[in-house]
Amino acid sequence: MTLQLPSEIVVERFLPTARAMLARELAAEGCSQQTIADKLGLSQAAVSKYLSGEQSGDPRFADNAEMQATIEYIASGFADGSVDEYEALAELLELIESFEDRGPICAVHEEEMPALQGLGCDLCVRGQDPRVETEREVLRNVRGAVRTFANTAAVVDHIPNVGTNIAMAMPDAEGTTDVAAVPGRIHAMGGQANVPADPEFGASEHVATTVLAMGTVAPERRGALNLKTSDALLDALTAAGLSTAEFEAGYEDRYERLTDLLASTEPTPEVLYHEGAFGIEPITYVFGDDATDAVTTLRAVVTATPDSSE
């Protein structure tokens, strides 16, 4: 990965493209190469290269309609005297600002630094936004939890037919889009846990709902995962000192039912489970302070009790 500032992209990609486009537009307006060189602060030899097409710039900028319109405006104004250097600079700076806000400069920056992909160049536009940093921390935590889960052979027998998801909520989560989880869920395939994709926000409904419900009484518990319910697993979780509570399996009004249950249960359970219903597989939810904590808790239980899936 190349550590690159957006200003480098402006200097190395945008500026040469703008100069090449201006040189061609001014030539079309009838300006001599020397006049163009004086206007753009270039040598005549450099202008000659631009006009010959030897240096045409980056097409991601040159093909942009907004840039084309700006260049045409500046060139026409230079030619008839209606635009001076100050106004031309102001136009180009405004264009750069637009391009740095999820525009071509942002696209080039993400290509040069893949770590920025999916962040919408928020780092450049808003600086180190605390929420963006927290989102990244949550995603990192879930990724680590997923790796631990997938690398623990004993968990495979506890993955339900509908799949397991591992989720973690933002500190101020208000809905499922504020909860990160694995798109498509984790499924047992060939005796292993198959992880289909990296975690994303809004990728879970049921596990996310349980995390949000837990947050109403224990906001510090922001992580959870789901497993298939079995007597052996519940016994092992209880033996490990975790408190459990059962709830009805139906999906209708589940959030409200869970919040009511949690509010009236002492101590606040660390495990919630149901025994299933018609068309609904029996599921157990294990909670933790974060996703990694929830998986670590489960891992300790199932590795200490190999037959806990029976």
- The secondary structure of 236-260 as a DSSP string is HHHHTT--EEE-----TTHHHHHHH
Co-location of 17 and 120 in the same domain = yes
> Domain boundary residue among 126, 146, 162?
126
Residue 310 lies in a domain: no
Co-location of 110 and 174 in the same domain = no
The predicted pLDDT at position 199 comes to 94
Co-location of 155 and 141 in the same domain = yes
Co-location of 93 and 204 in the same domain = no
The predicted pLDDT at position 307 comes to 57
The predicted pLDDT at position 180 comes to 97
Co-location of 141 and 108 in the same domain = no
d(CA 92, CA 216): 51
pLDDT tens track, the chain, 310 positions: 567 787 888 898 899 999 999 999 999 999 999 999 888 888 989 888 888 877 677 888 989 999 999 999 999 998 888 988 889 999 999 999 888 877 888 888 888 777 776 555 556 655 556 677 799 899 999 999 999 999 999 999 999 999 999 999 999 999 999 999 999 999 999 999 999 999 999 999 999 999 999 999 999 999 999 999 999 999 999 999 999 999 999 999 999 999 999 999 999 999 999 999 999 999 999 999 999 999 999 999 999 865 555 5
Residue 1 lies in a domain: no
| Beta strands per DSSP E along the chain | 166-169, 179-181, 187-189, 192-194, 200-201, 223-228, 244-246, 271-273, 283-288
Q: DSSP assignment, residue 53?
A: T
Q: Find tokens 């208000």 and name the residue.
A: 174
Give pTM, 2 decimals: 0.63
Residue 296 lies in a domain: yes
State the residue range of the domain holding 168. 131-304
> Domain boundary residue among 126, 153, 171?
126
Total domains, the chain: 2
CATH of the domain at 212: 3.40.225.10
Residue 275 lies in a domain: yes
The predicted pLDDT at position 2 comes to 67
Residue 309 lies in a domain: no
The backbone torsions φ and ψ at residue 258, rounded to the nearest 5 degrees and listed phi first, read -65, -45
> Domain boundary residue among 126, 158, 178?
126
